[in-house]
């Protein structure tokens, strides 16, 4: 007799199935529902959503579940460690580097908020800066130096660390060196990182231990779960064509909303002390791209995005990108 367990996705919920075999005959089958929890708040109150496209990856079906508690989306089943390191080998970084060269301005623009924040707090943030998940040629290093902070970087795989060292002259640290080491940093920056993590709670809790008592953790990234007009249209289209799936690899394993980010940070003993929410073109075509490819789909998305941009000007928390600065919760409480 043998048994085998595997993850399965039903229409309604995430299910783990245990099958007990006698030879090739299934003797007994047990289904355990919702073993998984929300990536942001650990709530079990999650349900698969037809409004996000199903992903076919590595011979398996992956789907997003929406959390009723924090409104964030988590990809289920969770990717394994092996899959994650395969996703972030130098192939991924290489592909991104090529993107940089075609849109340098866009890449640099991603660091505007960081540059502004560090410049306006120059001399008050301490001495050391860590870009956690910095990539092969981080723009943040220059910004940190300009603002009197000593830059450090972390990348997951050795091949990317080697390329980064060649590009910057700085030896990057591995995840283990940071998390198991006792080095503390005054500023930790997570630029477009959290949406790639299969366990952001544990990772942030570990990282908070590497933050000095008065240190700041700065995070930025997409709010792909935000309720915007563009997201509504894309969601509706996914629902209408829910039998289709994408084969684009699941680089983003969670889709955040502002509320889910706040829950995640609170869970990790962090509190937002400064935030900016705004709208960007991505992933909708810009005006120049629209003229080049004038399809009804592109036109609808372009118009929806322009409406979203107006809303983002009118409402402070409306938008699909965030930039937040956090402090340790105990620190804030002790001061008040
Ligand atoms: Zn949640």
Output the six-digit token pair for 285: 């075509």
Kindly compute the dihedral angle of the four CA atoms of residues 324, 274, 319, 47, in this order, to the nearest 10 degrees: 60
**pLDDT surpassing 70 at residue 317:** yes
**Ligand 1 centre from 137 Cα, in Å?**
33
**pLDDT surpassing 70 at residue 112:** yes
**Ligand 1 centre from 259 Cα, in Å?**
9
16-41 pLDDT per residue, tens: 666 777 777 777 766 655 578 999 99
| Any domain includes 140 | yes
Give the position of tokens 């299910």.
15
**pLDDT surpassing 60 at residue 93:** no
**Ligand 1 centre from 181 Cα, in Å?**
30
**Ligand 1 centre from 172 Cα, in Å?**
33
**Ligand 1 centre from 75 Cα, in Å?**
12
31-80 pLDDT per residue, tens: 655 578 999 999 989 988 999 999 999 999 999 999 999 999 999 999 99
**Ligand 1 centre from 104 Cα, in Å?**
35
Cβ neighbours of residue 116 under 8 Å, at least 6 residues apart? none
Interval 106-120 mean pLDDT: 90
**Ligand 1 centre from 78 Cα, in Å?**
15
**Ligand 1 centre from 201 Cα, in Å?**
11
CB 256 within 8 A of CB 221: yes
**Ligand 1 centre from 95 Cα, in Å?**
32
**Ligand 1 centre from 206 Cα, in Å?**
20
The CA R_g of the chain, rounded to the nearest whole Å, is 21
- At residue 101, the pLDDT reads 44
Angle, alpha carbons 114-116-121 (nearest 5°): 95
Beta strands 73-76; 254-255: pairing state: antiparallel
Q: Which of 243, 246, 241 is nearest to 56 (CA)?
A: 246
**Ligand 1 centre from 231 Cα, in Å?**
19
**Ligand 1 centre from 45 Cα, in Å?**
8
Q: Give the C-alpha separation, 66 to 267, whole Å.
A: 18
**Ligand 1 centre from 65 Cα, in Å?**
10
| Any domain includes 2 | no
Cβ neighbours of residue 295 under 8 Å, at least 6 residues apart? none
CB atoms within 10 A of CB 133: 21
| The total number of structural domains that make up the chain | 1
Domain limits for position 189: 88-335
**Ligand 1 centre from 251 Cα, in Å?**
20
- At residue 14, the pLDDT reads 58
Q: Which of 130, 23, 6 is nearest to 60 (CA)?
A: 6
**Ligand 1 centre from 74 Cα, in Å?**
8
| Any domain includes 192 | yes
Q: Give the C-alpha separation, 232 to 209, whole Å.
A: 38
**Ligand 1 centre from 36 Cα, in Å?**
11
End-to-end alpha carbon distance in the chain: 62
Q: pLDDT exceeding 90 applies to what percent of the chain?
A: 64
Alpha-helical (H) ranges within the chain are: 81-87, 90-102, 104-109, 112-120, 140-146, 158-168, 175-179, 200-208, 229-240, 258-267, 287-292, 296-314, 329-335
Q: Give the C-alpha separation, 267 to 83, whole Å.
A: 26
**Ligand 1 centre from 144 Cα, in Å?**
33
267-301 pLDDT per residue, tens: 999 999 999 999 988 778 888 888 888 889 889 99
Q: pLDDT exceeding 70 applies to what percent of the chain?
A: 86
Least confident piece of the model among 110-114, 149-153, 258-262, 295-299: 295-299
| Any domain includes 298 | yes
Interval 87-95 mean pLDDT: 65
- At residue 332, the pLDDT reads 57
**Ligand 1 centre from 41 Cα, in Å?**
4
**Ligand 1 centre from 67 Cα, in Å?**
5
**Ligand 1 centre from 38 Cα, in Å?**
5
| Any domain includes 65 | no
| Any domain includes 70 | no
**Ligand 1 centre from 191 Cα, in Å?**
21
Q: Give the C-alpha separation, 41 to 139, whole Å.
A: 31
**Ligand 1 centre from 254 Cα, in Å?**
11
Q: Give the C-alpha separation, 58 to 298, whole Å.
A: 30
- At residue 99, the pLDDT reads 45
| Any domain includes 72 | no
Tell me the CATH number at 218.
3.40.50.150
- At residue 335, the pLDDT reads 54
**Ligand 1 centre from 55 Cα, in Å?**
21
């Amino acid at each position: 007799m043998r048994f085998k367990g595997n993850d399965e996705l039903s229409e309604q919920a995430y299910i783990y199935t245990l099958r007990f075999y006698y030879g090739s005959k299934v003797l007994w089958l047990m289904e355990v529902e919702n073993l998984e929890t929300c990536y942001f708040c650990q709530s079990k109150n999650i349900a698969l959503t037809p409004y996000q496209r199903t992903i076919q990856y590595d011979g398996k079906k992956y789907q997003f579940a929406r959390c009723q508690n924090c409104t964030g989306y988590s990809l289920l089943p969770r990717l394994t460690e092996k899959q994650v390191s395969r996703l972030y080998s130098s192939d991924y970084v290489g592909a991104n580097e090529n993107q940089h060269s075609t849109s340098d301005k866009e890449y640099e623009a991603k660091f505007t908020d960081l540059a502004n924040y560090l410049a306006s707090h120059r001399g008050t943030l301490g001495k050391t800066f860590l870009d956690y998940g910095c990539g092969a040629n981080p723009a943040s290093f220059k910004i940190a130096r300009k603002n009197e902070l000593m830059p450090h970087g972390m990348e997951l795989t050795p091949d990317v660390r080697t390329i980064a060292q060649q590009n910057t002259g700085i030896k990057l640290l591995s995840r283990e060196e940071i998390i198991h080491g006792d080095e503390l940093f005054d500023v930790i920056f997570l630029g477009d990182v959290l949406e790639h993590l299969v366990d952001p709670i544990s990772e942030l809790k570990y990282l908070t231990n590497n933050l000095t008592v008065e240190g700041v953790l700065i995070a930025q990234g997409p709010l792909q779960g935000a309720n915007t007009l563009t997201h509504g249209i894309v969601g509706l289209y996914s629902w209408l064509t829910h039998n289709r799936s994408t084969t684009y690899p699941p680089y983003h394993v969670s889709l955040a909303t502002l509320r889910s980010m706040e829950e995640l940070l609170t869970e990790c003993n962090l509190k937002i002390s400064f935030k900016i929410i705004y709208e960007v073109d991505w992933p909708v075509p810009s005006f120049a791209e629209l003229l080049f490819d004038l399809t009804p789909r592109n036109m609808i998305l372009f118009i929806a995005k322009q409406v979203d941009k107006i809303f983002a000007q009118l409402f402070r928390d409306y938008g699909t990108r965030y930039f937040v600065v956090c402090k340790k919760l105990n620190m804030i409480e002790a001061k008040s």
